[in-house]
Chains A and B, each alone.
Chain A
């Protein structure tokens, strides 16, 4: 592989980094979104002589060999799982997680999806759903006689409300549970802030909130994204600068080859 092809692999990595930056920035306002970090790694090497081989003339071990690299590739994307900032919304059906847990949601094809976006609403049957209308796996319905505005959710997920005409007595409506994973990084994102479990993540451990590292619930708040514009801009500038350098390498390699062919 010549210098031009090697530089091209680098350009492709830079392009993918810019793509990730664009994606992160565009989701700056998405509830519960975790920024994605792209990691690059080096491609295999062409070993002309390996370190430790016996050099003929000196009959000593060469301390180092000759290896030509083939460039770089994207190795992984992973989410930075730090909690985002909380935003107080005063909506009785908004709840944020301070910890590593996920809400379970029943998806259209009966699969369970997991989300950290705790912006809920009720549907025509007064069942609690996500903003896209999927029912919570916990199956919570706010009874007709309890106005939504009286709903309170405790740190450990117990949902209570006050029935019409009764000004003091709180009635338990249901309980929100959380799900944790052995390997949170192994979840796969399917859009709408929704994730599915995979063999890599392991099965969900369904626990009560505040137990098993799932975190406590903060009522009437939402978790904002943890995208930090400053660090995204730094990544963008880096990628831009490196792309510039790579195209200069390509031009130089091209000129050198041209000189060689023309044999001036």
Chain B
């Protein structure tokens, strides 16, 4: 290719900007030299420019691809939206079902209170005042809540009456609330108490249900104080009980004592704060060590009831404390020696005085009972007194004694012992009294009275407050005389209450300070019996023939031996049965002869002899003298008519003639004086005549009956049963149950099957029948069949005596050609006189060569009929096709064509070699 031609070709590329810069420069250079190329280039540029400007308006622009892609994406989204709704629906249904199931499960769990939050949910504060709504709690709690809720309502009229009543009510409310709290605590687990009651009470109940108390104005804060105290003391005691498994006695006293100043201190402090949320105390804040110094401190600061303050003689625990101080000075040191006297920092901002409320204390009463059996009461009491004297602070409280009818002394000793010495004392006591006596029982128990005690304290405080209030009112002297008088009256009431409370507290204090041990002592019983009587009792059952006569003879015998008949009766029952009962008492010496006499009267079937010893006046001892009492006889006489025999023989008897055998048997039984119980002869079916005879004979007559049976026929089955020995069974007679069967019905002992081919079946049948008749056999069955082919078959069944069978078989075999011969024996079938053999003979003649329906013509006939049948069937199918298949085929084809026309999918062209683009 010349340069020029090459450049000519480059021109088009240059116009299309397909040249590299170097190529373009070379083309430009060439155009300067070559005129033709320059013209061509100019023309091409001109054309290109014109074409470009012509189509500039319709060019798609640079965003064509983006527009196409956007359209594609939109189409895809549409399709997804269209196809996605089913999936979304399914997901939606599944999600709904899941949510529903989860909800149902949670509800169910909540219903059965399996979830830990099931109860708190029901303890919503708003429900506290409504008794019916509190159904989820324990009954006790519900009752107390109801009471609490009713409290303000009941008191509503009096609350509006005046300050006095309002204060009264506030105190009352506090008491009720206090009563509620420990109860609830007892009814539930410790874990539940620590959070739920406190929370609920403080956040919900206190502000909500005490709305009546709010009317009382200035008493609100006072109410708060009494209200909070039980909560906290309760909390404290709870902590103590969970942290200490066994509270030592010293601690008990110390805590009981310490709680008074603590409570007093709180009482002095709390009115200053009226925040209803102050009482929320987390259980974790309740550390037993924290509150002690605090309690001391606040007790000292407060002017009420502190140990260092003015003790006006009304301190509830004064008695208890004096006892404790007097006798156990070392225990008093404990509360006064806290390691850290400073107030510990408690990180609860809303309750600055909380820790002192957490003071743990526990008031426990210990008491016990012991029971001893001793040789001598007096020496045991002396031992107890000696032991008590050795223990400081212990003393013998009461000694009771009582003399019993047998001259022995029984009584009890009540001893008061310091609780810490109780266990030692009990051990000593056991050792000491155990030397000469036995410990019968012991019970040492503790009772936690912290709740009662704290309640009493709180009531006392409230009453004191009331008293001082009333005193102030009287001192002021404002108001009318009438009102003052009323106040005086009220003061009297409250003072009485205060004294009651104080008395109770003193009582508790006493109980706590000294444990009570009750020792019951009893002298050992005398063991000696006054007299022993030995009696013999004979029970006998006698089988006799004549009951009446036997009874008469027995009574005569009793009279002879100077006995005493206590009871005698004779009964006649159904079916000739007689029963007689004879009770008598005989001297021991006459008992033996009377028993012999009974043996003579009949057969003694039953005899029981008991020997019983009876003691009088005391327990048995070996030394006691035995006297013999009269022998008691309880005798029964009965005859054998209705007594079941012990032995039963069940027989199957094969006889040649059943009615004759039946008659023979009846006569034989009559001769043997037997008793026929049931007999039956059935002759409805001539082929199957049966008879049944059930009879009883005496044992002595049995051989005669057996002989008669053997004469009547042949025993084919025998079954003898002897029942276990019993009171109402007798061996003196035998029961026979005899079934008579015809000898013809006896199963064949041998079965011979023969198949014979004979020229003439009918003739052969007649011959065989005659032969069987001759051998005294019988024909049991015969059937003959004649087929179209001319084949004749006869099946014959013969029953023949077993002895005649072999010769008959030989005769049969000579009648024709033997095709089959089988013989089978049945060893279970009876052998002997009536044994039979069954001959099963099948006779047939020889087969025809050609069957009647075979041959040429029948074949042609069958062929023709088959062809016509096929032709008719094909006509049926053609009609069917025309009427049913054709329309549907047409519809299907039309649909296919339509589908092809509407389907826009292109058919891929075959890949062209050297693409045409």
Q: Are these two chains actual partners, yes or no? A: no
Chain A residues close to B by CB (< 8 Å): none
